[in-house]
Homo-oligomer: A and B are copies of this chain.
Amino acid sequence: MSSATTARDPSRATTGRVRNTRQAATIEDVLREQDGFRSAQQLHAAIVASGGKVGLTTVYRYLNTLAESGRADVVHNAEGEAQFRLCGEAAVAEHSDAGHHHHIVCRVCGRSVEVSGPEVEAWAERVAAAAGYTEVTHTLEVFGRCPEHSPRRAAPKRTATHRG
């Protein structure tokens, strides 16, 4: 957590935010350092821990801005806590709709991998259509233990569980 890039980023324009403030830069910075999804609380803690000075309120506000403009992804963990992550640059490609992708998030370290699941997309659309549903939306979140936090080579207790 060396107070690295903590400087105003000139490449921030688009939606919302007009000004370039120190706190916004700090937040985006910390966010970039994380490999996985982090809650607003965690991010704020991280900032404070590394000597940064940004109010929790601001973290929330900025995070929401990022999410709204599609520059960040939001998922809700099992407890309903919101977790954010900078959207892979690639994803922000065309529309501000943040491309089609899901994540596999490590339960232990929060590290995540982006995956695109055309099959799932198709499946969701198909079954929904079959049931007569329209304007379909879906939420898919996969959690597990990343290689680094998986039990050695011991037989995993259970390969797959469910919820939802």
Q: Of A8-16, A27-35, A54-62, A142-150, which stretch is located at the interface?
A: A142-150
Query: Which residue of chain B is the closest to A106 with respect to CB atoms?
Result: B133
Which of these, B75, B143, B150, contacts A137 with CB under 8 Å?
B143
User: Is the pair B133, A146 in contact by a Cβ cutoff of 8 Å?
Assistant: yes
20 A-B pairs with C-beta separation under 8 A? A75-B164, A78-B139, A115-B131, A117-B123, A119-B119, A120-B140, A124-B142, A124-B160, A127-B142, A133-B145, A133-B147, A135-B144, A135-B158, A135-B159, A137-B143, A138-B140, A138-B160, A138-B162, A138-B164, A139-B140
Distance of A115 Cα from B128 Cα, bound (Å): 9
Q: How many copies of this chain are found per oligomer? A: 2
Count chain A residues whose beta carbon lies closer than 8 angstroms to a beta carbon of B: 56
Cβ–Cβ < 8 Å partners of A144 in chain B: 128, 133-137
Residues of chain A whose beta carbon lies under 8 Å from any beta carbon of chain B: 73-76, 78, 80-82, 97-98, 100-104, 106-107, 113, 115, 117, 119-121, 123-125, 127-128, 131-147, 150-151, 156-164
